Amino acid sequence: MQDLNEFRLFYNRTLYPELVRQERIRKRLIVLFVLSLLVLAVSGWAVYYLKMPILALLIWIPFTAYSSFLGWRIRKFIGGFKPKVVQLILDFIVHPMTYSHKAYLPKERFLQSRFFMTEAPHYKGEDFITGQIGSLHFEMCELDVRDQSKVSSNAMMPVFRGIFFIAKTEHSFNGEIVILPKSERPYLTRTIKDLIRREHQALKVKYPGFNDKFLSYINPYANEEIIIPKDFYERLFNFSNKINKKVYISFIEGYIYIAVWEPKDILEPHILRPNTSFKLVHEFYTDLYNIISLMEEFERSERASSEFAS
């Protein structure tokens, strides 16, 4: 995986010219929007002082049609910005990947992670990415998951918002290991009860500080040493500290599930301010970089363990 210094060079050479092109489109939309407001103000003044109702009708019909057209142009800009920029970023990454802006992982696969016990009546997503990291085939997307509030029937409470990642390991395994952020324990009562119902038991990880940061559970059919490479707990611990976000990870029947909380939309374009800043694309690449780097470490550790065993 290319480091962040290489990405800075890529931004200067490839991403920035595309962002400048998108910026020209945004500025044209702003000019059209300002002119629309001026036309609206002048038209209102003319109708008021000339007292000609028929003039209002003649003005407002085309103005309404034009406003609808302008709204469509703005939505087209917002909808087209992210796919263009994301595709360039994915082309920069060494691992083969494909991208679909509107697609996302189905609810059933989200619930298979064992992270959250929810009916998820509100389940939406976007930015589906699929690819290959060595022997690992992965899928990921952004998700916004909410459940019915227990306080108000008209309100929804957040369950998860952020990046959800699934990878298929090269070597299948039986059983389940579920690792949850310890800070979220008060909000994971239903999840923990469900794990206990499924015969999961608390797992004490032998890495300094890990049990202070995470709650780990394992079921009777899982062999911890086979499922998780010996040094991967350290990688996961460092990953969580580095990104400073709530991280969930589970190993279930040959699959790895990762959920990383991200409260804000990633790489969403602005209309009223420029989108050419390095920070805008850097945040998106950093999220990708951290998760893919973690999976690169897992894949290397798994491969090394297999070679040692053989």
Residue 33 lies in a domain: yes
pLDDT of the residue at 48: 67
Taking the C-alpha atoms of residue 99 and residue 184, their distance in angstroms, rounded to an integer, is: 31
Q: Does 35 lie in the same domain as 16?
A: yes
Q: What is the pTM of this model?
A: 0.86
| pLDDT tens sequence across 117-126 | 999 999 999 9
* Contact (Cβ atoms closer than 8 angstroms) between residue 249 and residue 257: yes
Same domain, 144 and 249: yes
Q: Are residues 32 and 176 in the same domain?
A: no
Tokens standing for residue 183: 């800070």
- Domain final residue, candidates 65, 92, 119: 92
- Residue 58 is predicted with a pLDDT of 64
Cβ contacts of residue 282 below 8 Å, gap of 6+?
A: 4, 7, 11
Residue 196's domain spans which residues? 97-263
133-186, pLDDT tens digit by residue? 988 999 999 999 999 887 777 788 999 999 999 999 888 889 999 999 999 999
Look up residue 100 and give its two tokens: 């679909």
Looking up tokens 């691992």 gives 95
Domain assignment of residue 279, yes or no: no
Q: Which residues of the chain have pLDDT under 70?
A: 1-2, 44-48, 50-60, 63, 303-310
Report yes or no on 59 lying in a domain.
Answer: yes
- The answer on 252 and 212 residing in a single domain is yes
Q: Are residues 72 and 101 in the same domain?
A: no
